[in-house]
Structures are given as structure tokens and as C-alpha cells.
Amino acid sequence: MNRDELLEVGEWVLGKTKFGELVQGFVETDDSLRGTAKVYVVQCDNEETIGKQVVIPRQWMERIPVGSFDDEEHMHDLIDLALATKDREWFIDLTAKASNMKQTSGKEARQTRSSSIRNRLGTSAIWEQ
């Protein structure tokens, strides 16, 4: 990552501290004049650094690609993280998404059950569409 690229607060990054520790975390502040960012450490090869803020030069970090968290387990992990970081807006957004996921999965389950063949041994997967 070069010095001129702007980082957004909350963006996930991988980086290396001045002590050589490999860290993963999210950006809390971005100092474009100095070419550094303050990162809240979520994972690190040095357990003492986890949960602390570190300043990392931009050339020593890279953005983590945004993935889709389309299963409920990942969504609950993110909700826990939102609670731990006391990010109310993110928590509300995530709980709304989790609720939609639950409703959608419930509808899909009902549709699958109604379109399947039922016999005395149970539901037949052969006839499901």
C-alpha cells in the first residue's frame, strides 16, 4: 500500500509493526501526512499486542479483501465483535442482516419441504428440486 492511498476508519488490514509482529486489525485513524495508520489489533503472533492500538506505516500493511459473510455463524461472530468494540450502528446493521438471513432460510426450508415427496420413511431427496 502506498503512502497516498487513503484508508477508511473501520477498514480491515494486515500489517507488520516496527517490532516485526504480524498483526490483523481495523483502522482507527489514518494520518496521511505521516503515511501511517493507527490499527486496533484483533489477531497477532504476539498475544500481548492483541487488543491494543499500534501505529503502522502504510507501506507495511495491506487491505484485507471484503468477503461475504453469508452464513449465520460468521454473522454472530461479527455481532460479538460489534458489541466488543461498542459500535452501535454496526451492531444494528448486523442484527438486521442476521434477522433477514434467518427469515430467508426459514422460507427456503418451507419451500423445500412443500415440494418434496413424503412417504412413510420420511422426505425423499430424490424428488426435491
- Taking the domains of the chain in order of start, what are their residue ranges? 12-63, 72-112
Asked whether residue 127 carries a pLDDT value surpassing 80, the answer given is no
48-59 per-position pLDDT tens digit: 999 999 999 999
pLDDT at 52: 93
Task: With CA atoms as reference, report the closest residue to 54 among 5, 1, 2, 13.
Answer: 13
Q: Is the dihedral of CA 98, 62, 2, 56 positive or negative?
A: positive
Q: For Cα atoms 104, 77, 12, give the angle at the middle one, nearest 5 degrees.
A: 110
Highest mean pLDDT, choosing among 7-16, 74-83, 110-119: 7-16
Instruction: Compute the average pLDDT of residues 106-113.
Output: 55
Beta-carbon contacts of residue 8 (< 8 Å; ≥ 6 apart): 27, 30
pLDDT at 4: 59
Task: Give 100's pLDDT tier (boundaries 50, 70, 90).
Answer: confident
- The pTM of the full predicted model, rounded to 2 decimals, is 0.54
CATH code at 12-63: 2.30.30
